[in-house]
Amino acid sequence: MKIGFIGLGIMGKPMVKNLIKAGHELYINDRNQETIAELVDLGATAVANGKEAAQAGELVITMLPNSPHVKTVALGEGGIIEGAHEGLVYVDMSSIAPLVSREVHDALAEKGLPMLDAPVSGGEPKAIDGTMSVMVGGDKEVFDAVKPVIDVMAGDVTYVGGIGAGNIAKLANQTIVAVNIAACAEAFTLAQKAGVDPEAVYKAIRGGLAGSTVMDAKVPMMLARNFNPGFRINLHIKDLGNVLDTGHGVNAPLPLTSLVREMMSVLDGDGHAAEDHSSLVKVYEKLANIELAPGEPEA
Q: What is the CATH number of the domain that holds 87?
A: 3.40.50.720
Same domain for 120 and 48 = yes
Same domain for 120 and 19 = yes
Domain assignment present for 236: yes
pLDDT for 296 equals: 63
Residue range 161-191, pLDDT digits in tens: 999 999 999 999 999 999 999 999 999 999 9
Same domain for 70 and 132 = yes
Domain that holds residue 129: 2-162
Give me the catalytic one of 126, 170, 218, 282: 170
Q: How far is the C-alpha of 50 from the C-alpha of 30, rounded, in Å?
A: 10
Same domain for 117 and 25 = yes
pLDDT for 230 equals: 83
Domain assignment present for 272: yes
Domain assignment present for 126: yes
pLDDT for 299 equals: 44
pLDDT for 295 equals: 81
Same domain for 197 and 154 = no
pLDDT for 275 equals: 97
Same domain for 225 and 119 = no
pLDDT for 146 equals: 97
Domain assignment present for 299: no
* Domain of residue 254, CATH code: 1.10.1040.10
Same domain for 128 and 243 = no
Domain assignment present for 248: yes
Same domain for 184 and 102 = no
Domain assignment present for 241: yes
Same domain for 188 and 158 = no
- Is 170 one of the catalytic residues? yes
pLDDT for 122 equals: 86
Tally of residues, the chain: 299
Domain assignment present for 294: no
* pLDDT in 10s for each residue of the chain, 299 residues: 999 999 999 999 999 999 999 999 999 999 999 999 999 999 999 999 999 999 999 999 999 999 999 999 999 999 999 999 999 999 999 999 999 999 999 999 999 999 999 999 988 889 999 999 999 999 999 999 999 999 999 999 999 999 999 999 999 999 999 999 999 999 999 999 999 999 999 999 999 999 999 999 999 999 999 999 888 999 999 999 999 999 999 999 999 999 999 999 999 999 999 999 999 999 999 999 999 988 865 54
Q: What's the total number of domains in the chain?
A: 2
Same domain for 203 and 158 = no
Q: Of 162, 179, 197, which marks where a domain is finished? A: 162
Q: Which percentage of the chain shows pLDDT scores above 90?
A: 93
Same domain for 184 and 149 = no
Residue range 49-83, pLDDT digits in tens: 999 999 999 999 999 999 999 999 999 999 999 99
Q: Of 103, 138, 162, which marks where a domain is finished? A: 162
Domain assignment present for 71: yes
Q: Of 130, 162, 194, which marks where a domain is finished? A: 162
Same domain for 247 and 158 = no
